[in-house]
Structure 1
Amino acid sequence: MSQTFYQQSAVDIQGNTVSMDQFKDHVVLVVNTASECGFTHQYKPLEHLYQLYKEQGLVILGFPCNQFGSQEKGDEATISKFCELNFGVSFPLFSKVDVNGANAAPIYKFLKSSAKGLLGSESIKWNFTKFLIDKEGKVLKRYAPTMKPENLVEQIEYLLKK
């Protein structure tokens, strides 16, 4: 049997190991984030999506990353406070990770191999790359940073009804 998202784990922003198994039967959107990026404004529509659909089973998971233009310099406490104060983020945030290279977080190695990017590339190109996972833990699609969260509504609604 091939691996699913639910077999992965990651360390949350408070330092606790979280099994993705707890999100079984949910639609999950995973996003690598940064506080000083041109796409940082996407926190607001991501939070809006989360508030709109969390009762129906949507979970959004944010993974801060400092690999692109050093746009996430702060520590976990600083990141958490920034997201909450500036964007009202209440969806789960995780400890800062590498998404590319030898030190890439295992969860990102899994996501990248499950949903390749442009021309079959596994490499993440920039902050706010998104991965959509269905209720069975299958990674369905990777979206570029330019994909606005609000443009995912139709797909999210479809998956929530399945």
Structure 2
Amino acid sequence: MPCAYDFSLPGLAGGTIDLGAWRGKPMLIVNTASKCGFTPQYEGLQALWSETDHELGVIGVPSNDFGKQEPGDASEIATFCSRNYGVSFPMTAKCHVKGAETTPLFRWLATQGGLLAHPRWNFFKYIIDREGRLSTWFSSLTSPDSRRVRDAVSRVILNG
């Protein structure tokens, strides 16, 4: 049975982001967009990345699938995230997270989480445990600095 560590994604700055490199570490995978009402959540994602000393692999997956809210190219996305939110966690190239062209990772996440786990907007959050299994997920409405997300992150970090 596949796990999150079996997937890789194209990197925003080129190359490949191999999730297998985080084997044994928990991850938070988020579909992102630069022109969304939830875009300020980048700040909370960056805080989790920094506060956990990168023990939590935070991975941003830009997508233009919802409201065409990620129209930029890789350079524009990288500049926006760095300049406005100081993003230093890994970011993938723009990917589809819904529809016929859904990237395999997001197809797997939706299968693992069930019908409601399919991203229905930008900034859906998926927490992966140390075995590479989906631990839980949160919709766009639950911010990364909410108690619910922070408690879930603490659980996957401590259960190692």
Aligned match of 1:110: 108
Aligned match of 2:12: 13
By how many angstroms is 1:103 displaced? Answer: 0.7
Q: Is 1:73 paired with 2:68?
A: no
Q: Report the CA distance shift for 1:124/1:77 in structure 2 as closer, same or farther (over 3 A).
A: same
Q: Write out the 4+ residue segments of structure 1 that deviate beyond 2 Å after TM superposition.
A: 120-123
Q: Report the CA distance shift for 1:17/1:149 in structure 2 as closer, same or farther (over 3 A).
A: same
CA offsets, 1:102-143, max 9 Å, x none?
Answer: 111111111111112xxx345320000010000110011121
Report the residue type matching 2:136 in the other structure. Answer: K
Q: Name the CA distance, whole Å, in 1 between partners of 2:88 and 2:17.
A: 16
Report the residue type matching 1:133 in the other structure. Answer: I
Aligned match of 1:153: 150
Report the residue type matching 2:150 in the other structure. Answer: V
Q: Report the CA distance shift for 1:122/1:27 in structure 2 as closer, same or farther (over 3 A).
A: closer
Residue pair 2:10, 2:93 contacting (<8 A) in 1 also: yes
Q: Is 1:134 paired with 2:129?
A: yes
CA offsets, 1:68-93, max 9 Å, x none?
Answer: 11100000110001000000000000
By how many angstroms is 1:18 displaced? Answer: 2.3
Unmatched 5+ residue regions in structure 2?
none
TM-score (norm 1): 0.93
Aligned length: 157
Q: Percent identity?
A: 33
TM-score (norm 2): 0.94
Q: Is 1:29 paired with 2:35?
A: no
Report the residue type matching 1:14 in the other structure. Answer: A
Unmatched 5+ residue regions in structure 1?
none
**Could you say what the CA RMSD is over the residues aligned between the two structures, in angstroms?**
1.1
Q: Which of 85, 90, 93 pairs up with 1:92?
A: 90
